[in-house]
Amino acid sequence: MIKTVEWTNEGVRMIDQRLLPTEEKYLTLRSYEEVAEAIKKMVVRGAPAIGVSAAFGLALGAKQSVGTSVADLEDDFGYMCEVMSKTRPTAVNLFWAIERMRAAFNREKARTQNTEEIKANLVTEALNIFQEDIESNRSIGHFGAPLIPEGATVLTHCNAGALATAGDYGTALGVVRAARDAGKRVAVIADETRPFLQGLRLTAWELAKDEIPVTVITDGMAGHVMKGGKVDCVVVGADRIAANGDTANKIGTYMVAVLAKENNVPFYVAAPITTLDLSLSSGDQIPIEERDTREVTHIGSHQLGPDGVAVQNPAFDVTPNEFIAAIITDRGVARAPYVASLKALAGAKKVGV
């Protein structure tokens, strides 16, 4: 099992995803600031993994707080939540995890005046978030696997695998793994996913480790392979899903969705219910992060483009619900009309598998 992010006695341990696949290096982050910085710099990425990391970071920050009264600890904790919420704007799982940790804090505060007890229970809450994420991926896999035909080739964009979550199954790749574990033959075509190359670097690496056949293409080849009849379905993850099903995901996902529709290839989104943001009626309201242009113009220290070239680097795009055949969640599969189906799943009780 890939250990994307873990709680240890020394701090929050994570695999440095900037260095994969040529280097497999684990960092131990020893303060909440270091965790926030790791999220910002994409040492860890993927909406669910960001949520889990933020929860661990807040638990670590609380544990290290020198505040001796609950009021002091609350001040510290509130500040940490602020810092953590400013790391990345698009993935709603980050804000969900922060809110859940904040709720845990308030629950504890109402229960006890013992700061050590509060700190210990914040660690427990973060560990629960971690464990639930792994279980949620298994549920996504359970609900999604029947959508994958025997012998299918699944195209995916970016990395929505073990490395995008607490570990283990992943979301989009959880569906692939569950299909494989159900005895189906399944192969993956991974878009390389510029600029950060999550497909070439991460998806290819984790699927090879898992012995699931994977072929990498550049993003511009996705249409060509679909037109050639080589893709049976598309499964991608999500960073935020609006109430109407519009889905923010890694830049290029909208391109894949449009090409899938043109070529009659079903396009599925796989994400835990925590990726749902019912406060937004449509995807137009989802904030899209603009990242450093250097991610496009350089690979490491290697300069690719001309000096001073203008670059746009939006990290996400929004796929309108009309392109989405189904949204596979840990509580079941939502289909159009999404306003009703997603609301129903959000209100439903969590299903164990």
In the complex, the residues that contact a second copy under the rule CB under 8 A are: 21-22, 157, 191-195, 197, 200-201, 204-205, 208, 213-225, 227, 250-255, 258-259, 262, 296-297, 299-300, 302-314, 317
Backbone phi, then psi, for 13, in 5-degree steps? -100, 130
Query: Taking a C-beta distance cutoff of 8 angstroms, is the pair 331, 350 a contact?
Result: yes
CA distances to 29, 268, 336 from 321, rounded to whole Å, are 38, 11, 8
Q: What token pair was written down for 191? A: 């878009």
What distance in Å separates the CA atoms of residue 245 and residue 338, rounded to the nearest whole number?
5
Q: What token pair was written down for 5? A: 């992010």
**Tell me, what amino acid is at 109?**
K
For a second copy, the closer of residues 120 and 221 by Cβ is: 221
- Min dist CB 194 to a second copy, Å, is 4
Residues acting as catalytic residues: 239
Query: Taking a C-beta distance cutoff of 8 angstroms, is the pair 286, 252 a contact?
Result: no
For a second copy, the closer of residues 37 and 295 by Cβ is: 295
* Per-residue exposure over 215-248, b if at least 16 CB sit within 10 Å of its own CB, e if not: ebbebeebbebbeeeebbbbbbbbbbbbbbbbbb
- Min dist CB 260 to a second copy, Å, is 10
What distance in Å separates the CA atoms of residue 100 and residue 129, rounded to the nearest whole number?
9
| Residues whose CB falls within 8 Å of the CB of residue 128, separated by 6 or more in sequence, listed in order | none
For a second copy, the closer of residues 302 and 349 by Cβ is: 302
- Min dist CB 292 to a second copy, Å, is 13
- Min dist CB 315 to a second copy, Å, is 10
For a second copy, the closer of residues 297 and 329 by Cβ is: 297
**Tell me, what amino acid is at 337?**
P
- Min dist CB 232 to a second copy, Å, is 16
For a second copy, the closer of residues 192 and 277 by Cβ is: 192
